Amino acid sequence: MANKYPFQDIEQKWQKWWEDNGIYHAKQPSDTKDKKFYTLVEFPYPSGDGLHVGHPRSYTALDIVSRKKRMEGLNVMYPIGWDAFGLPTENAAIKKKMQPAIITEKNVATFKRQTQSLGTGFDWSREINTTDPKYYKWTQWMFIQFYNAYFDESLQKARPITELEIPAEIQKDGDLAIRNYRDSKRIVYKTTTTINWCPACKIGLSNEEAQGGVCERCGGEVEKREKEQWMMRITKYANRLIDELSDVNYLDKIKTQQINWIGRSEGALIKFAITQNQSQDHVHRTIDEIEVFTTRPDTLFGATYLVLSPEHPLLTSWIDHDAIENIKEVKDYQETTRKKSDRERQENKEKTGVEIHGLKAVNPATGKEVPVWIADYVLAGYGTGAIMAVPAHDERDYEFAKKFELPIIKVVVPPALAELSHPPANITPVSQEDVRVESECWIGEGISINSEFLNDLTTDKSQEKIVAWLEEHGAGHGCTNYKQRDWVFSRQRYWGEPIPMIHCEKCGWQPVAESELPILLPDVENYEPTDSGESPLSVIIDWVNTTCPACGGNAKRETDTMPNWAGSSWYFLRYCDAENDQVFASPEALKYWMPVDLYDGGMEHTTLHLLYSRFWYKVLHDLGHIPESCGVEPYAKRTAHGMILGEGGIKMSKSKGNVVNPDDVISEYGSDVFRCYEMFMGPFDTDAPWDTHGIQGIKRFLDKIWSLHQTRTTNDELRTTNPSDAKFEIRNTKYESILHKSIKKVGDDIDAMRFNTAISQLMILTNTLLESESVTDDDYKTYLKLIAPFAPHIAEQIWHNFGNESSIHLEAWPTYNPDLLIEDTITLGVQINGKVRGEITIAPDAKESEAMEAAMQDENVKKYLDGTEPKKVIYVPGRILNIVI
RNA sequence: GGGCCCGUGGCGGAAUCGGUAUACGCAACAGACUUAAAAUCUGUCGCCCAAAAGGCUUGUGGGUUCAAGUCCCACCGGGCCCACCA
């Protein structure tokens, strides 16, 4: 069957030829004067399951863009590697009793074979692997650079810790105080935080591994545990991570999701004095002060009680000082909260809490005393871990106040001003029908109101007026808060980069000397987690015991490892200069290649990997390890592809048995069909279900391309390339115009990543050429070049059948002749009163009178006009003729 | 509860600037070729009507406009992310 595309005989041959000839190897800046284009896909995690059909969607899409850019003369780098550290491999190692390194090697081999069989034009000479010591040496090196840096608030950038000014009052307290002060400013720091703990597996879990409060491994409930952890001060970059998004071209939904995740909100910190009821003399004495964060300082007058999170540190001090009358009740509530899993806390939103007897809080604006409560609806980790409750203006406070019968006071603008302010107060109670307001008060009520304060107290201004008043009276100040927390960077795991730190009793934490890097992961026999929740590395005594880099005394290594986000936070930099063993990448290489021009990946990485790597890049850039000229953002453009779902639109999963294996698709249809099918399924950024029938249509398309070539080459008469031959001049204007339209459309569609419509245009073109009596060699070659980015193998084969020796993928991308885009005549719809009643065929630039004349010839139009004189004629050349009667 | 997005034939989808809705493909049906099947080729294919003519049609209801799948308002339905973030 000669007119079937014989992919079995063709595809592997070209894959080998491309690699042998380095067709896709990018030139380094020293070897070229060409402009660069850097295309990046998220490097895969080589799991034991092998490649998913979702991977090729991203790879093929960016491959098409890369191939077109290459044909346009750019020096394209499209690299690939392996993000191979991580939990699934470690779990497999425990289960199979094999070394994680060996499992990784096996998985990488499978992934590499599968990826190569796709025919993607990756530059394999730059292949990297995060578990390779030559790679993670630099991950560790960067960790140390971050440790040796602090964030300068006034410059809003990282600087070497040696440049940190030590305040005089710290200096006078001596070396230890100075050391503590420095440690409190470092970008990398160690502190006690709460981690997710699975009691069944005896293992610490990351938030991602404990989603919904359930252990990813065993499905059991997850507890909280206190643990010393290494942290990254990403919160210092919160403002820049939001503001510098304006420099980049990301999908809007990606930007919004990042902004929401960081969760910046403007408000104020307000101080409430805490007074104790001295029962002997009935005098209320101030014993403490507590700060609350609010985004609505203007509702301060309606604050009828204060709520602390059960974890609030002041509670411990009050308990210790016996300031609380109902200590047992408070302690019990704290204990109950601690035992609650995240899931319980999330699912059960019924408000609970305990009033603290013996203490009151003083509202700084009104001077009135209000009760103090603890409740778990106040989160320890956000703001100050304490709130002023304004039940009339906050739903949660309202619910709580209802349950515990606390007063509800609505804040309004003073009546005298309500008339003046237009519109009047837009401060609305949470639920207007529902709120039974016990009383109202004015904004500013209780403050010694002066006329100036009142004069421009409108609703819009009330926020800033109150903040100004608070600042003036030392009762608070404006403040910005973020939902995002610092990045927990420790894992009590084996299969990750060892954290290159050493602890010395005398000198504290010391980074490993750079000359000692990489700190290799030692072999261990047992990956099972330890009872104490320490990393499996902690039991390798020989490895743990070392000497202090500072004093030479006995010291111990850090046994925690890095999270698997570490290696992926900078891999795009390594590609620029993957073989360099002096630096992670040379400044010249970085200057040339960075930033990444186009980066595609899944939406699921928007708030983790994408944010982490932007942060990581900014720190390196601030510290001068990335040339200034590269800019402050690593990725100029970021897109996100949709998922490929199983047949019927449900997610592919082993348990549902609807997983499609790329190997099977390739052996049945070949890579070109596979590629084109995934591009044709639907818009690139939308989820699409797999359809076994749909792939048939693409197979037919490729067979048509092949059969077009077969009929051409077997017909010698049409093969002439001699312009003097009369046959050369036989032109089919129909195909010519469609060919040039296709050059434009396919090119535009690739640039806009509309691959589905590009392929539909190529189908139209192929069908047209099949119907045409003859096609010139030049036009046919143009056609092949349009096909090449989508179906590289078949295009290369036919190209070589023509006697070409070099690759079609290095040919110049075709240009179109704008004159040929304009057709001599077009069909135009004719509307009567906005309804289509006929069609006319006229020149695209015909005048209105000509169009009207043509329309009058149309029987149907005539019938509808019925001799009536048009009231109005709307004629948009090339678009529409609308006659209003 | 907050944020983002989407509703077009039997199905995936197209319509890029407000200008002939349903391109391209799948499935289906009829026919050709074949001893037969597959493959291939030809034709039909939004709905109502026997057909033509005509009417209706982009989740529903309004609005703006000469003209709305596209813009505005309300509602209904679906998806994703975050979620007691003060």
3-state class (DSSP) for residue A27: coil
A166-CA/B75-C1' distance, Å? 63
Q: Which nucleotide is nearest to A251 (CA to C1')?
A: B4
Q: Which residue is associated with the tokens 């390594």?
A: A574
Q: Which nucleotide is nearest to A767 (CA to C1')?
A: B24
A820-CA/B20-C1' distance, Å? 23
A823 Cβ within 7 A of any nucleic strand B atom = no
Token reading at A465: 């007026």
A700 Cβ within 7 A of any nucleic strand B atom = yes
A603-CA/B80-C1' distance, Å? 9
A766-CA/B39-C1' distance, Å? 20
* pLDDT tens by residue, A224-269: 778 889 999 999 999 999 999 998 999 888 998 999 999 998 889 9
A723-CA/B85-C1' distance, Å? 74
Q: Which of residues 4-23 of A touch strand B (CB under 7 A)?
A: 4
Mean pLDDT over each residue of chain A, to the nearest integer: 87
Q: Which of residues 261-320 of A touch strand B (CB under 7 A)?
A: 261, 263, 265, 267, 293-296, 309
A345 Cβ within 7 A of any nucleic strand B atom = yes
Q: Which nucleotide is nearest to A263 (CA to C1')?
A: B85
* pLDDT tens by residue, A554-610: 999 999 999 989 999 999 999 999 999 999 999 999 999 999 999 999 988 988 899
Q: Which of residues 372-401 of A touch strand B (CB under 7 A)?
A: 376-379, 382-383, 385, 387, 390, 394, 396
A484-CA/B85-C1' distance, Å? 9
Give the residue-averaged pLDDT of A643-656: 85
Token reading at A757: 């419509």
A696-CA/B42-C1' distance, Å? 20
A836 Cβ within 7 A of any nucleic strand B atom = yes
Q: Which nucleotide is nearest to A697 (CA to C1')?
A: B25
Q: Kind of pairing, strands A409-412 and A439-442?
A: parallel
A833 Cβ within 7 A of any nucleic strand B atom = yes
A688 Cβ within 7 A of any nucleic strand B atom = yes
* pLDDT tens by residue, A100-121: 999 999 999 999 999 999 999 9
Nucleotides of B under 7 A from a protein CB: 2-5, 11-16, 19-21, 23-27, 39-41, 53-56, 66-68, 80-82, 84-86
Range in A52-66, A126-140, A162-176, A294-308 the model is least confident about = A294-308
A772-CA/B39-C1' distance, Å? 23
Give the pLDDT score at A834. 84
Give the pLDDT score at A427. 38
Give the pLDDT score at A281. 64
* pLDDT tens by residue, A658-669: 899 999 999 999
Give the pLDDT score at A343. 67
Identify which of A204, A226, A68, A235 has the alpha carbon closest to the alpha carbon of residue A559.
A204
Which range among A491-495, A672-676, A684-688, A864-868 has the greatest average pLDDT? A672-676
Q: Is residue A415 pLDDT above 60, yes or no?
A: no
A412-CA/B63-C1' distance, Å? 36
CA atoms within 13 A on the CB side of A847: 2
Q: Is residue A678 pLDDT above 80, yes or no?
A: yes
Q: Which of residues 21-50 of A touch strand B (CB under 7 A)?
A: none
Q: Which of residues 572-631 of A touch strand B (CB under 7 A)?
A: 603-604, 607
3-state class (DSSP) for residue A777: helix
The protein residue nearest B1 (Cα–C1') is A395
- What would you measure as the largest C-alpha separation in chain A, in angstroms? 119
A64-CA/B62-C1' distance, Å? 46
Report d(CA A134, CA A126) in Å as an integer.
Answer: 13
Task: Read off the pLDDT band of A498 (50, 70, 90).
Answer: very high
The protein residue nearest B68 (Cα–C1') is A834
Report d(CA A851, CA A728) in Å as an integer.
Answer: 37
Report d(CA A876, CA A874) in Å as an integer.
Answer: 7
Give the pLDDT score at A857. 83
The protein residue nearest B20 (Cα–C1') is A829
Q: Is residue A342 pLDDT above 80, yes or no?
A: no
Report d(CA A272, CA A362) in Å as an integer.
Answer: 5
Q: Which nucleotide is nearest to A387 (CA to C1')?
A: B86
Q: Which residue is associated with the tokens 């529409």?
A: A880
C-alpha distance from residue A266 to each of A295, A389, A463 (Å): 6, 18, 10
C-alpha distance from residue A146 to each of A136, A160, A182 (Å): 15, 9, 13
Q: Which of residues 446-485 of A touch strand B (CB under 7 A)?
A: 481, 483
Q: Which of residues 773-802 of A touch strand B (CB under 7 A)?
A: none
Q: Which nucleotide is nearest to A344 (CA to C1')?
A: B84
Token reading at A643: 């998922």
Report d(CA A838, CA A858) in Å as an integer.
Answer: 7
A398-CA/B74-C1' distance, Å? 30
3-state class (DSSP) for residue A630: helix
Range in A150-154, A185-189, A851-855 the model is least confident about = A851-855
Q: Which nucleotide is nearest to A860 (CA to C1')?
A: B53
Q: Phi first, then psi: what are they for A527, rounded to 5°?
A: -95, 0
Q: Which nucleotide is nearest to A340 (CA to C1')?
A: B84
Cα three-residue angle A350-A351-A355, rounded to 5 degrees: 155
A681-CA/B26-C1' distance, Å? 11
Q: Which nucleotide is nearest to A841 (CA to C1')?
A: B20
Report d(CA A868, CA A861) in Å as an integer.
Answer: 11
* pLDDT tens by residue, A499-519: 999 999 999 999 999 999 899
Q: Is residue A180 pLDDT above 60, yes or no?
A: yes
A785-CA/B31-C1' distance, Å? 37
Which amino acid, A698?
A: I
DSSP state of A369: E
A62 Cβ within 7 A of any nucleic strand B atom = no
Give the residue-averaged pLDDT of A807-832: 87
* pLDDT tens by residue, A213-224: 677 667 777 777
3-state secondary structure labels for all residues of A136-202:
HHHHHHHHHHHHCEEEECCCCEEEEHHHCCCCHHHHCCCHHHHHHHHHCCECEEEEEEEEEEECCCC
Percent of chain A with pLDDT over 70: 88
3-state class (DSSP) for residue A696: helix
A872 Cβ within 7 A of any nucleic strand B atom = yes
Give the pLDDT score at A617. 97
| Contact predicate A337/A438, CB 8 Å | no
A845-CA/B73-C1' distance, Å? 39
Q: Which nucleotide is nearest to A1 (CA to C1')?
A: B39
3-state secondary structure labels for all residues of A59-85:
HHHHHHHHHHHHHCCCEEECCCEECCC
Torsion of the alpha carbons at A604, A606, A610 and A615, rounded to the nearest 10: -130
Q: Which nucleotide is nearest to A759 (CA to C1')?
A: B24
Task: Say what the pTM is.
Answer: 0.91
Q: Is residue A18 pLDDT above 70, yes or no?
A: yes
Q: Which of residues 655-684 of A touch strand B (CB under 7 A)?
A: 680-683
Per DSSP, the residues of A431-469 read STTT---SEEEETTTTS---HHHHHT--HHHHHHHHHHH
DSSP state of A486: P
3-state class (DSSP) for residue A51: coil
Q: At what angle do helices A7-20 and A671-680 cross, to 10 degrees?
A: 90
A62-CA/B78-C1' distance, Å? 30
Give the pLDDT score at A155. 96
Percent of chain A with pLDDT over 90: 55
A513 Cβ within 7 A of any nucleic strand B atom = no
